[in-house]
Each structure stands twice: as structure tokens, then as C-alpha cells.
């Protein structure tokens, strides 16, 4: 167990690393952020930082020597980087979580093998496999690259077999999967944390809506039945246990409603703190960031009890220009990431609006 004064090494210096470092500081733990980008938002709130490439072994070795445990704020940490660090310090979550979540095909098979529903999927290696998968899914589906997709990037919606060549060109013929379309009522996510001792704690289920493929709002409670809420927890716990996971894990799900009631279908998992968990910073006894810090530091997990209904709004691009107005709003808790440059589509901050009383 890390004692106050010891250091967590974080790969990645974005807003997620920044909020982790802030949570760690509150518990008297130090953070050392490792990121190739000199303008990383996490640097200004952490004890130490390193600006170096993820394949710079000399820099990685110095980083490992200076920390007590390593974690990360993005799932595309190169496998070699994780293995290099793993030989020197514990890396939490471990290599299995990274390997599974970096490849959509591996991830889908892994989750389906646990007996958990996922969207129908097929491996795509070229025109022939895409055509036959499309035929299976009645001519409609989402083509997704196996690796490096996020916020709708690396995805093409297909509505007819005529689009096959164009769709493959749009993903540069990268290895991919085709998913059948899920006719969902809403998108929800569950954030769970698993401690070093295997204890699992889950936050309440959250309801997410998107704008331009980027998370726009998260509302909690999610407006689903208690059975669905319990089922989401069970799914999160099952996946975390199967990955021998330590830390916070996000599971994005589709809520499907049919004659038989509500069902959950897993869309994807993220082996890290997640944008759809930002509401926990102000609405719960412990935030997802503190929970992650506790887990990777080997501390007991906190109680994820929710104290109020809440709506999180992402401040993307020029949205953050409204900061002064939001700062004056009763019940609003403003979070800004300190990014020098605003660009369309760039996450600049978020606001949690608590429904008090």
C-alpha cells in the first residue's frame, strides 16, 4: 500500500491525468506525469513531469525509478511501453486490460465469452468479409477499426452493400469489425472500481447523450429500472473480475427496450477513468478519480454513494467561453482543464449541475 508522500506515475497528461493528480494530492500522494506533449494540462497540477516519447527507454527507466506504481489515463499505451514499465514497477490496471481494450475484436470476443450481450459483430479483413458480414446484418452496420478508435473516429456507418469499397477506403483498409446496428433507446455507462484485494464498488448508472459524436451530457439517475441498474453493476463487476482488474473501469452500454422489457448490450469498455464519470466529482462521497487513485495505491476503496441528482455538461470548444456565466450559476460546479488553446471539438472543461433540496 502506498503511504502519503509516495508517488503514482501516470502515463498521459490530458484532463483525465490532471483530475487524477488533483485527487491524489488531496490524499497526500504525489504524481509524476509522463507525456510527450509539452503543453499537457496535467503537468501544472502534478509534483513532477517528464516530456518524452512513449518509446524512449532511457526516459521510461528514469520515470519507473522515480515512482512507486504506474497507471495511465488513455488505453492506447503501447504494449511495449507497458511491458517495459511492468518489469520495474507494478502497472495498474495490468497488461490484460490494455490488450483486451486496445482491440475491438478481442474485446468483443472477451465480453461475449463471459456470457454478456454485445452487438452482433464480424471480423473484417477486406471486401469479401465485409460483404458477407453486411449480408448477415441485413445490409446495415457500423464498420469500426479494430484499433485506435474513439469518439466516433475510425467508424463508418453502412446502409447498403454498394458502400463497401468506399467504406474500406475511409478507414484506410485497416483491420476492422462490422457491428450490426443496435436499436437502442438510450446510451448508459457504468463506472466500477476494483481494489487490489478484489473488492468491487460501482457508481450509479449514468445516461449519456452525444453531440457531433462527442459526449455532451451525462444524467444520473439514468431513468432505468432497478433490475437494469443491478444488471449493469453485475456486468461491470464480471468484466473487472475477469480482467483481474485494479483501478476504475468504464463500461459503455446500449439500453434496448422491447416487448420483454429492458436489456443491456455492451458497446465498449475503457480501462481508465471516463468522461461519463465526471459527475462523481461533485455528486458522490468519492469521485472516480479518487477511487482510481485509491485502487492503484492499494488503499481501501471509497464509498461511491451518490448525494444528489446531477447533470454533467461537457464544455467543448467555444462552450468554455461561458465560464464566467457558469461560475455565477447556483448549484453549478465548474471544472476547467487549463488548456491554452480552444479548438472545435476539444474538451475544455465540464460543469456538474447538482439538483439540491
Interacting residues toward ligand AMP by CB under 6 A: 119, 142, 149, 152, 179, 181-182, 187, 210, 252, 267-268
Per DSSP, what are the bridge partners of residue 226? Answer: none
Query: Between 158 and 182, whose beta carbon lies closer to ligand AMP?
Result: 182
What is the closest distance, in whole angstroms, from the C-beta atom of residue 143 to ligand AMP in the complex? Answer: 10
Query: Between 26 and 210, whose beta carbon lies closer to ligand AMP?
Result: 210
Which cell goes with 22? 488533483
DSSP character string of 25-65 = HHTT-EEEEE-S-TT-TTGGGSSEEE---TT-HHHHHHHHH
Nearest to 275 by CA among 322, 218, 230, 316: 218
Residue 102: which residues within 8 A CB-CB, separation 6 or more?
Answer: 75, 76, 79, 147
What is the closest distance, in whole angstroms, from the C-beta atom of residue 6 to ligand AMP in the complex? Answer: 35
Measured N-to-C along each axis, helices 15-26 and 288-296 cross at an angle, to the nearest 10 degrees, of: 70
Query: Between 21 and 142, whose beta carbon lies closer to ligand AMP?
Result: 142
Phi, psi angle pair for 258, to nearest 5°: -135, -170
What is the closest distance, in whole angstroms, from the C-beta atom of residue 147 to ligand AMP in the complex? Answer: 12
Residue 310: which residues within 8 A CB-CB, separation 6 or more?
Answer: 219, 220, 279, 282, 283, 352, 353, 354, 355
Query: Between 104 and 333, whose beta carbon lies closer to ligand AMP?
Result: 104
Nearest to 192 by CA among 274, 281, 117, 99: 274
Query: Between 50 and 267, whose beta carbon lies closer to ligand AMP?
Result: 267
Query: Between 79 and 148, whose beta carbon lies closer to ligand AMP?
Result: 148
Distance, CA of 106 to CA of 108 (rounded, Å): 6
What is the closest distance, in whole angstroms, from the C-beta atom of residue 208 to ligand AMP in the complex? Answer: 8
Query: Between 75 and 252, whose beta carbon lies closer to ligand AMP?
Result: 252
What is the closest distance, in whole angstroms, from the C-beta atom of residue 75 to ligand AMP in the complex? Answer: 12
What is the closest distance, in whole angstroms, from the C-beta atom of residue 154 to ligand AMP in the complex? Answer: 8
What is the closest distance, in whole angstroms, from the C-beta atom of residue 89 to ligand AMP in the complex? Answer: 31
Amino acid at each position: 500500500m502506498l503511504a502519503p508522500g509516495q508517488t503514482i506515475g501516470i502515463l498521459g497528461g490530458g484532463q483525465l491525468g490532471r483530475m487524477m493528480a488533483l485527487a491524489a494530492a488531496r490524499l497526500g500522494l504525489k504524481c509524476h506525469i509522463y507525456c510527450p506533449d509539452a503543453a499537457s494540462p496535467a503537468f501544472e497540477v502534478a509534483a513532477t513531469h517528464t516530456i518524452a516519447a512513449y518509446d524512449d527507454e532511457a526516459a521510461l527507466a528514469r520515470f519507473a525509478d522515480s515512482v512507486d506504481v504506474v497507471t495511465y489515463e488513455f488505453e492506447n499505451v503501447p504494449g511495449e511501453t507497458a511491458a517495459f514499465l511492468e518489469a520495474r514497477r507494478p502497472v495498474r490496471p495490468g497488461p490484460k486490460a490494455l490488450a483486451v481494450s486496445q482491440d475491438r475484436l478481442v474485446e468483443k470476443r472477451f465480453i461475449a465469452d463471459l456470457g454478456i450481450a454485445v452487438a452482433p459483430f464480424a471480423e473484417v479483413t477486406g471486401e469479401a468479409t465485409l460483404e458477407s458480414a453486411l449480408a448477415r446484418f441485413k445490409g446495415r452496420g457500423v464498420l469500426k477499426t479494430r484499433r485506435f478508435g474513439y469518439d466516433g473516429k475510425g467508424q463508418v456507418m453502412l446502409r447498403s452493400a454498394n458502400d463497401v469499397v468506399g467504406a474500406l477506403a475511409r478507414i484506410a483498409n485497416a483491420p476492422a469489425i462490422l457491428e450490426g446496428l443496435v436499436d437502442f433507446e438510450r446510451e448508459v455507462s457504468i463506472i466500477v472500481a476494483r481494489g487490489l484485494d478484489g473488492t468491487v464498488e460501482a457508481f450509479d448508472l449514468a445516461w449519456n447523450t452525444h453531440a457531433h459524436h462527442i459526449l455532451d451530457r451525462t444524467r444520473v439517475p439514468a431513468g432505468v429500472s432497478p433490475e437494469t441498474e443491478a444488471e449493469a453493476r453485475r456486468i461491470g463487476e464480471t468484466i473487472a473480475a475477469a480482467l483481474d482488474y485494479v483501478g476504475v473501469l468504464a463500461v459503455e452500454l446500449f439500453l434496448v427496450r422491447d416487448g420483454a422489457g429492458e436489456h443491456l448490450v455492451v458497446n465498449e469498455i475503457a480501462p481508465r477513468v471516463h468522461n461519463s464519470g465526471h459527475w462523481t466529482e461533485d455528486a458522490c462521497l468519492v469521485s472516480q478519480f479518487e477511487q482510481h487513485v485509491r485502487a492503484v495505491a492499494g488503499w481501501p476503496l471509497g464509498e461511491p454513494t451518490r448525494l444528489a441528482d446531477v447533470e454533467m455538461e461537457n464544455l467543448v470548444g467555444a462552450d468554455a467561453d461561458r465560464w464566467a456565466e457558469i461560475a455565477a450559476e447556483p448549484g453549478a460546479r465548474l471544472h476547467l482543464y487549463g488548456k491554452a488553446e480552444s479548438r472545435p471539438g476539444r474538451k475544455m472543461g465540464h460543469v456538474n449541475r447538482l439538483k439540491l433540496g
